[in-house]
Structure 1
Amino acid sequence: MAAFTAARWVNISRHTGPKVVIVAQPIVLGKAITTEQIKTVNWPGADIPQGAVSKATEVVGRIARVSMIPGEPVLPGKLAPKGATGGLASIISDGKRAITVKVNEVIAVAGFALPGSFVDILVSGKDANRQPFSRTVLSRVKVLAVAQETTAEPDKPKVVNAVTLELTPHESEKLDLARSIGALSLVLRNELDTWEVNSAGVRLSDLMYSQSTRATSSSTAAHASASRQYRGPEEIRGTSRHSVATP
């Protein structure tokens, strides 16, 4: 990916077209963008990325909402509002909230739930009948930070005791209630997967009596029933049983 974007950057710089600001050095989300991290080039052709920034002065000093790699055009949606001072608050999307929940090495996907990744959130506990259950309460939730870090090193998973998630106000209420009734688990998902999870959850009975177990039980019951079918009159002498022919 890095080689591809670098080659594209070289290709772009050879053309004479509209001015577009692109990334020259890696940019980390939550940090202010410096002059050295960007470059103005001539974009080839008329197919300019929608909203592309044309002046470096519109970018320098702004806080990055996402991490960016060299060769990538700088778009307004990737920047925090002017005047933002950095930190976690500056990378929260409009209308969203940030909430931190406690996790451990196991339920944080063994350290692979990194900033920028997406997860489903499960709650496990006991229902009104005191029966164990597990259910997905939120799907495709963005991870803003792990521990107190908002940057990610994909090849270096980190064991943490807390993650900060980006949610709508209503989702925040659901999560707050969920963690009050049971333990939370994070399920890592592909960032391109937008499928909304709609599950009724599972209970202990679903684990103890799976479909195959039920089928086996039904088969055994049917066999026992068949073995008890009437087969005509019998004569019993001691422990012996013999069929008796009828005229």
Structure 2
Amino acid sequence: MKNLRILSMLLIATIAGLAAVVFASRWLTQQSSSGITKVAVAAADIDLGQRLSPDFVKVVDWPTASLPPGAISDTQALSGRVVRASLTRGEPVLESKLTPQGTAGGLSAVIADGKRAITVRVNDVVGVAGFALPGSYVDIIVNTLRDSKDGKPVAGDRSDQSISKIVLEKILVLAVAQEVNRDDTKPKVVNAVTLEVTPEQAEKLDLARSVGTLSLVLRNQIDPQPADTNGATKSTLLKEPAITAAVAVPVVKTVQVVRHVAAAQRAPGNCIGVIAGVDHGAECF
């Protein structure tokens, strides 16, 4: 009898333990499922301007508490969308990194509103030894000849006329040659660089490359300070003193006019003869 009571107690304890395990497992599953969200991420490295397809996107579990804003969970909604920024493997595909619906792929999809893309020819020196990569910012220097105020070239030695001046600042490099990948930090010596400019800057750049030679100056991406310079000439480069031309002062000659005034001779008037003794004279009046 005593053994039966012990066995029944053990059976009840076993059942209670199993029930507790089952309820705890269900509670943990519910808690974990409520804190997880399906998020679409890049299945491979994706370059900007590339059109998405099912091969480039996959869905993974993402903690709801750390879900980035603009995350997308429906992979079907991403079909045909174009990315405006490079994505690395495992990076969430956000709405802010996608172009609007219906945008065609390619470089034109990543040009900002109101901007244009223009390509300039460069070499290993002009292109900052290949470090002018997509995503970096550059200043543009033009070396040309100065003009006088009337628009004609300044007379004198050609070296004295040469001037180098920064004409455009903080210009975004969209692509080098035919590559638009912004994640590569290795230098690439190419013969062409595509820049993102405003319509006014495009006009200045086109004029600059027609009147002189261009050089790219790599600048810090977070440097907002403008470079207000007067340009460099031969005299400023060599720190030559400014030579002021002597101004001839006209000599004013004072001519002294001497007027000779002839004494007016008094015309004789009425005269009478005067006899004083043996002397004879005349008195005129």
2:230 — aligned with what? 200
**Structure 1 residue 95: deviation in Å?**
1.4
- 1:125 aligned partner, one-letter code: T
1:102 — aligned with what? 121
Identity of aligned residues (%): 51
Question: Quick check: 1:111 aligned with 2:130?
Answer: yes
- 1:205 aligned partner, one-letter code: S
- 2:215 aligned partner, one-letter code: S
| Larger Rg belongs to | 2
**Structure 1 residue 209: deviation in Å?**
0.4
Question: Quick check: 1:22 aligned with 2:52?
Answer: no
- 1:132 aligned partner, one-letter code: S
Long gaps (5+) in structure 2: 1-31, 148-153, 155-159, 242-285
1:66 — aligned with what? 85
CA contact (8 A) 2:133 2:185 kept: no
Secondary structure of 1:65's counterpart equals coil
Q: Given the superposition, is the C-alpha separation of residues 152 and 43 from structure 1 closer, same or farther in structure 2, using an over 3 Å criterion?
A: closer
Q: Given the superposition, is the C-alpha separation of residues 83 and 43 from structure 1 closer, same or farther in structure 2, using an over 3 Å criterion?
A: same
* Number of positions where the alignment pairs a residue of Structure 1 with one of Structure 2: 199
2:205 — aligned with what? 175
1:36 — aligned with what? 55
Q: Given the superposition, is the C-alpha separation of residues 107 and 52 from structure 1 closer, same or farther in structure 2, using an over 3 Å criterion?
A: same
Q: Give the aligned CA root-mean-square deviation in angstroms.
A: 2.7
2:19 — aligned with what? none
Residues 67-114 of structure 1: CA deviation (Å, up to 9, x unaligned): 111343322332223223322212212211111111122101111212
1:84-163 equivalences in 2 (<5 Å)? 84-128=103-147, 129=154, 131-151=161-181, 154=184, 156-163=186-193
Residues 115-145 of structure 1: CA deviation (Å, up to 9, x unaligned): 2222111111111136221111111111112
Long gaps (5+) in structure 1: 1-12, 215-247
Partners of 1:95 and 1:123 lie apart in 2 by: 25
Secondary structure of 2:63's counterpart equals coil
Secondary structure of 2:165's counterpart equals strand
**Structure 1 residue 152: deviation in Å?**
5.4
TM-score (norm 2): 0.61
Q: Given the superposition, is the C-alpha separation of residues 118 and 14 from structure 1 closer, same or farther in structure 2, using an over 3 Å criterion?
A: farther
TM-score (norm 1): 0.70
Secondary structure of 2:81's counterpart equals coil
